[in-house]
Structure 1
Amino acid sequence: MKKCMFVLLILSSILTGCWDKRELNELGIMLAIGIDKVEDEYRVTAQVVVPSEVSTKTSTGRSPVILYQENGGTVYEALQKITKESPREMYTGHLRMLVLGEDLAEEGIAKSIELLSRYWEIRSDFYVAIAKDMTAEELLNVRTTIENLPANEMFNTLKTPEATSTSTNGFTLDELIANLTSDGKEAVLTGILVKGELEMGSNKQNVESITPAAQIKYDDLAVFKKDKLVGWLTERDSRGYKAILNNVHNSVTAISCPKGGKATLEIIQSDSKIKGKINKGKPEVDVNIKVKGNVEEVECQINLNDQETIVELEKNTEKQLEKTINLTIETAQKQYKSDIFGFGEAIHRSNPKEWKKIKEQWDEEFSEMTANVKVDVKLVHTGTEGNSFLKKIEVK
């Protein structure tokens, strides 16, 4: 009986509580990781929270984050070196951003993100971006103003609905890997850069000025072929890409009025459908997009109370959007030969047998295929005023 009680006591000490529990004050919270390629090694930069500086009671005005940096033959080796360098155990469970250097992206990103896809402690809901025209190390060394933790500012900017109204887009690690491994679709990632004087970005003065010398800014979309960066979409093409992939919400676009001048529309709803088919032995896709919008600003002489005027505005918007989307498709086909839209996936869904025949030479098939684009626009509201007061000023 005594022997049995002893065994129960031992088991209870093992089975209760968190055997791998780590106290918060023992951890170094890593919010961002940057990966660059330096010769034959990876350079990993970790942006880690300084706990005393994010507390209002103990803050001394120093930087709220510290950068650790190490080189290694693999990403894991470099991270292990950082762990040894830090006085606290590194914790990656709250990772917000992964920034990849442009040079690394041009060589290929698959090997550098393999660890992050399998490491049990890392959640996959962080965003991935490409440091445009600079290294990831340089970008993570810039202090930010609205959020005192730079990684949080980068993350929150991409997460806000307003981000979808621009040419940027947030991509998580899971989404990136799904695109990298998909048959019939290539990956894109948002670009991120430093606007202004890069060398001033790490100074305290950068966050003490109304107009910071250096600011982190999201740019256009990076185009990949397999896992290699092959180029960048322009702002126009990035907007076209987002329209095709149904990522347009609260977007603003300026259109030409029938008799000159401009009107500004807000797209409040967008529904895009891509259908693949084989036409006379050749792959083809239909891209049908339905858009609902509001008239937000009028800088021209039009009568918004006239239904014919509304119809004309809708037609002008349809033509403009169709032109933008067709030019985006042409850029992907002719300049990059990269199917970033998933047209191959659409062909696969509609005709698996034919897809098997053409998937090995899909780059060539994609660059020559026909895409039929149709946009249908409906304007719902014209604001609290029927016609602009500008018309009244003109006739005075």
Structure 2
Amino acid sequence: MKRISKYVVIGCLISLLLSGCWSKKELDQIALVTGIGIDKKGDEYNYTVQIINPGEVTAKQMTTRTAVSTYTSTGRSIFEAIREMTKITPRMGYYSHTRKVVFGEELAEEGIGKALDFLARDHEFRTDFHIAVAKGIEAADLLKVLTPLEKVPANKMYTSMQISEENWAPTKTVKIQELINSIISKGKEPILTGVYITSTADVGSHVENVEQVASPANVIIDNLGVFKGDKLVGWLNTPQAKGFNYITNNVSSTAEYMSCGEDGNVTIEVSNSESKIKATVNNNQPHITINVKVEGDIDDVQCSKLDLSKEESLKTVEKKLEKKLNSAMEEVINATQTEFNSDIFGFGEYVHRADKTYWKSVKNNWDTAYQNLTFKVNTKVEIIRTGTITESFQKEVEEGS
């Protein structure tokens, strides 16, 4: 009896190992999808995929084929469009390597909720891809642009967005769960980074685009799209987008350029930024206080009269930067209140935590309350280092001339 039980256990274990391969797919049966573009034309979706050509990505010698191919299909739903694509592609799409999903601007203005439902529901999609909006062009055209340095354009967009967010600040990486949470939140609206090209898709889709020293068509990551619910309602410019990231504690590093006198400018590398937001409600009037602390180093001085060995000179630079950052943050808040009527900062969530009774009375009409919200921005800048020299050598040049 014990021997029989032993064989039964062994048989069960073996069957578990064998069942792990029931859904296996060989590499020559699948197409690795790195990028997805979703557009809307009338009642139908245009669904575009960017697929890796494996032999070209790993090729050591130059070939005439591109590293990726794009395919577009149409359907009344995204799933229908995916199945429709089997008519033109020899392999089924495999989505575990997808790095980028781009919505066309026209679809974003109409609403991305239905498209998001499929991406969140379907088990084939991972949740770590970045989402963006194609600004001024269709998502399909954006995915056709070939890029230098990175053979796979979707990977280029993925890494460029990360690098830009970490070192420049007017952009933000957004993944699907964060986007959905912002859409369904009563006190916060979504934002998505914009992507556009410097030329046309026709120019960028030819291999000549990566064979020249200066590519005529480049993919640019810039600006933030403001949403209300699942609909795009406008765009923040670069200073406003930076202001947004300062407020939401999303600035790791950036460069701030400003005047330091009549004869030039000074550039400060922001090395650390910390934001704290506090909400109060008095007499049914919500108020937000934003305290931002910024640390930075002076990287470039074009003013011959600026003596950085003097403490008062450093204080002057700090005060000027404080004024500039205050202005940028105030400008973006005002724009979201008057132009977009969209609380992209999540101030409503802070108000909710500060006064639950008041929030209960306004949460279904936060749009109106947000327009009347008052705020105060306080910025404190500290210059940590001035570089290896205190005075610009331009002073000696001018004195000697």
Letter in 2 for 1:168: T
Match of 1:282 among 258, 275, 285: 285
Letter in 2 for 1:62: R
Pair 1:230-2:230 in alignment: no
Kept in 2, the 8 Å contact 1:258–1:312? The answer is no
| Cα distance in structure 2, aligned partners of 1:154 and 1:269 | 25
| Cα distance in structure 1, aligned partners of 2:387 and 2:7 | 78
The answer for the alignment partner of 1:16 in structure 2 is 17
1:82-161 pair list within 5 angstroms: 82-83=85-86, 85-160=88-163
Shift of 1:331: 0.6
| Cα distance in structure 2, aligned partners of 1:370 and 1:38 | 41
The answer for the alignment partner of 1:364 in structure 2 is 368
Match of 1:374 among 372, 378, 388: 378
| Cα distance in structure 2, aligned partners of 1:3 and 1:171 | 56
Secondary structure of the structure 1 residue equivalent to 2:331: helix
The answer for the alignment partner of 2:307 in structure 1 is 303
| Cα distance in structure 2, aligned partners of 1:294 and 1:136 | 39
Aligned length: 396
Letter in 2 for 1:395: E
| Cα distance in structure 2, aligned partners of 1:285 and 1:389 | 45
With normalisation by structure 2, the TM-score equals 0.94
| Cα distance in structure 2, aligned partners of 1:394 and 1:351 | 61
Kept in 1, the 8 Å contact 2:169–2:245? The answer is no
| Cα distance in structure 2, aligned partners of 1:41 and 1:164 | 39
Closer, same or farther: CA 283–10 of 1 in aligned 2, 3 Å: same
| Cα distance in structure 1, aligned partners of 2:169 and 2:189 | 21
Kept in 1, the 8 Å contact 2:47–2:73? The answer is yes
Shift of 1:40: 0.2
Closer, same or farther: CA 20–290 of 1 in aligned 2, 3 Å: same
| Cα distance in structure 2, aligned partners of 1:307 and 1:186 | 43
Shift of 1:386: 1.0
Shift of 1:55: 2.1
Pair 1:191-2:194 in alignment: yes
The answer for the alignment partner of 1:254 in structure 2 is 257
With normalisation by structure 1, the TM-score equals 0.95
1:207-356 pair list within 5 angstroms: 207-257=210-260, 261-300=264-303, 301-356=305-360
The answer for the alignment partner of 2:54 in structure 1 is 51
The answer for the alignment partner of 1:203 in structure 2 is 206
| Cα distance in structure 2, aligned partners of 1:46 and 1:268 | 38
Greater CA deviation, 170-179 or 127-136?
170-179
| Cα distance in structure 2, aligned partners of 1:123 and 1:33 | 13
RMSD of aligned Cα (Å):
2.0
Unaligned runs of 5+ in 2: none
Shift of 1:6: 9.1
Closer, same or farther: CA 324–193 of 1 in aligned 2, 3 Å: same
Shift of 1:14: 3.2
| Cα distance in structure 1, aligned partners of 2:328 and 2:60 | 53
Greater CA deviation, 14-23 or 180-189?
14-23
Closer, same or farther: CA 6–38 of 1 in aligned 2, 3 Å: farther
Unaligned runs of 5+ in 1: none
Secondary structure of the structure 2 residue equivalent to 1:257: strand
Kept in 2, the 8 Å contact 1:254–1:264? The answer is yes
Secondary structure of the structure 1 residue equivalent to 2:389: coil
Kept in 1, the 8 Å contact 2:169–2:253? The answer is no
Secondary structure of the structure 1 residue equivalent to 2:324: helix
Shift of 1:162: 6.2
Kept in 2, the 8 Å contact 1:292–1:378? The answer is yes
Shift of 1:197: 3.4
Q: Deviations over 1:30-60 (max 9, x none)?
A: 0011000011011100111111211226874
| Cα distance in structure 2, aligned partners of 1:258 and 1:281 | 45
The answer for the alignment partner of 1:177 in structure 2 is 180
Closer, same or farther: CA 21–374 of 1 in aligned 2, 3 Å: same
Secondary structure of the structure 1 residue equivalent to 2:137: coil
The answer for the alignment partner of 2:392 in structure 1 is 388
Secondary structure of the structure 2 residue equivalent to 1:284: strand
Letter in 1 for 2:199: G
Pair 1:81-2:92 in alignment: no
Q: Deviations over 1:339-394 (max 9, x none)?
A: 01111011011111111111122111111211110001110000001111111112
Paired-residue identity, %: 38
Q: Deviations over 1:218-265 (max 9, x none)?
A: 120100001000011111111111111111122101122256631111
Shift of 1:84: 5.3
Shift of 1:183: 1.8
Kept in 2, the 8 Å contact 1:106–1:228? The answer is yes
